Amino acid sequence: MSADFFSDIKVGPKGRCERWDREFAERQVRGDIAGPDERTLFRFEDDGDRPDLAKLATAYAGKPAPSELGPTYVALEHDLWTEYMDERLPGASHMSSNYASLVAIDRAVAIPRGVHLLGGHAVRRVKHDELAEFVRDWRFLLMATGGAKAIAATCGAWMDRGYFDVDELADFVDEIGELAEAAIRLDAELLLVGYPAP
């Protein structure tokens, strides 16, 4: 029986995004990712804030990562989740089974292309001065992979096929770049997080 996961992309002011990034980072579980030979494991527990994505991209040569992903998520207590939801930060959410969709996108598509989406983590705060680079990287990823629907289809291997809707995930993928651009216009920040349903 698969578990339900949520992926959130939120736009908010610095203080609020910084607070939730800190809360979530303390509660995240970061699993390993299988290399393209399906034997090598890349570990994220001791990599600090940002793994060597260029090295990983060279290893994968643009191929999607195998579906043997270690568990990666933010473990939220119900009370903290309720407080987070009460913030009502604008943005988008997606529900999936087996893995948070943002984690799957990060590990199946972004990391093999050398793009820093979550960088092997389950949460990322994109500061305002990082947003322009984030948008450039995201546009590159869309072009390199064939677009939102291709990214969504690649992530299907990580999802429970009985619940997976490629068009629904593709819509969520499109919102990642749109919300990053909105954060630039609003002089705000972006918060990305994946977590199991409390």
> How many domains does the chain contain in total?
1
State the amino acid at position 162 in one-letter form. G
Model confidence pLDDT, tens digit, residues 110-125: 988 889 999 888 999 9
Model confidence pLDDT, tens digit, residues 23-76: 999 999 887 776 666 666 666 655 455 566 667 766 666 666 655 566 789 999
Q: Record the pTM.
A: 0.87
Full residue range of the structural domain in which residue 153 is found = 4-196
Strand-strand pairing, 73-74 and 189-196: unpaired
Q: With bands split at pLDDT 50, 70 and 90, how would you rate the model's confidence at 182? A: very high
- In order of 40, 92, 100, 187, the CA distances from 106 in angstroms are 18, 17, 10, 25
The set of residues, in sequence order, having a beta carbon less than 8 Å from that of 170 and lying 6+ positions away, is: 148, 149, 151, 152
For 80, counting Cβ atoms within 10 Å of its Cβ (0-12 exposed, 13-18 middle, 19+ buried), the class is: middle
> Is the confidence at residue 1, as pLDDT, over 50?
no
Phi–psi pair at 37, nearest 5 degrees: -85, 0
